[in-house]
Amino acid sequence: MKVIVDADACPVKNIIEKVSRFYDLEVIMVSNYHHQIESDYAKVIVVDGSSQAADMAIANHTRPGDIVVTQDYGLAAMILAKQAHAIHPLGNIYSQENIDGLLMQRYVNQKARQANKRTVGPRKRTSLDDKYFEQQFVKLILDQK
């Protein structure tokens, strides 16, 4: 099992590295060249700036049983189809039971934005969000061991 991170806008990279180091897990952080991601623990893969380059690199590196950290519901759906696990940086674990609803909500929000309707953006991240992510991330790791 390895951990693959959609690293461009990931707010929990430090938590991922800390926990992965403790459990001796390989970490791959994927970023496009517009972001400067550095790590003394993770392998960093830099891709071009095209819209789906990072998602394709993540999907290509994912094997059954791996854990992917992403905010992207479409990528999470691909990861679940590969018999791997996906978790949102807020700690929500993606599953076959919730992914269709999340994808539908994404579609509805996209249509609303195209019609110039207001949609609610994400709230400000808190330290409780970090703690919850860490708990859920550890739980996902231990469920696989």
User: 51-106: per-residue pLDDT in tens?
Assistant: 889 999 999 999 999 999 999 989 999 999 999 999 999 999 999 887 776 766 75
**Position 49 confidence tier, pLDDT thresholds 50, 70, 90:** confident
pLDDT of residue 113: 66
Q: Could you name the CATH architecture of 2-144?
A: 3-Layer(aba) Sandwich (3.40)
Q: How far is CA 122 from CA 32, 71, 79, 108, in A?
A: 23, 11, 23, 16
Query: What does pTM read for this prediction?
Result: 0.87
- Give bridge partners of residue 46 from the DSSP assignment: 31
State the helix-helix crossing angle for 73-81 and 99-114, rounded to 10 degrees: 150
* pLDDT (tens digit per residue) in 6-35: 998 899 999 999 999 999 999 999 999 888
